[in-house]
Structure 1
């Protein structure tokens, strides 16, 4: 190996080692910051355990057949539906554009879920998708979609104004 190649390899390795050291220093600082929060976080555990026991007591009082093991943990502030994040409204609008009749939000949600491969969704999943689609429709009401205004609302794309709402 020539001297030029050796120097280039050593410089590259030197840069890699410096980058690795800087990354390690940042990770150490993050751990130190987290360690400072450890006591505060550990103090929250008993409070959460108490709240969980209290909610189980209320649920068992309301429903004697309630089984806490059938209610899995759910991370807060995360995406819980099979439709990719930010796609519910767009996919719902696409369904309305392709529809041959005005549709309810539930019908649109079921079609969106079918398109992502969920033919028989759980009730909670369907509810979450409906909420996402309905909020998008309300946001764009009059601009890209129209509603019947009557309960239960039916929706249509504004490009398909010829579709009639059910009486």
Structure 2
């Protein structure tokens, strides 16, 4: 029974949780996955959201997990969305984990404030549905599909 629950928990989330930053609209778009962690039978659902750039804050976090033979350290950056005019957090989603953390946030801030000309040339955009042959669980997970209206809005200027 526990194997089925763990297998289902691995397949329920989408392949990736992309975030789009639209400088022209001063908005961010997140592919948010919501699920009830305490309910092993909850499939969860994707809730695409958009927020104004002025509502975004970054929170850097770190965690140490003790093990019998040492300690595992994890760190990352979470984007927090605050209610307008306050510091009350209304939503959160991960920016990066075990990666470039504050450097990714600095890159994004520079892009949103000064534009792409202030940054080094980026690499090719990632297709969130392009997976390696060995990523079997991700191949079985739902593909990333943005709602048509949000997909167009997040890629274009007003």
Both proteins in one fold, TM over 0.5: no
Q: Which has the higher contact order (CA 8 A, sep 6+)?
A: 2
TM-score w.r.t. length of structure 1: 0.23
TM-score (norm 2): 0.24
Q: Which has the larger radius of gyration?
A: 1
Higher helix fraction (1 or 2): 1
**Larger fraction in strand:** 2
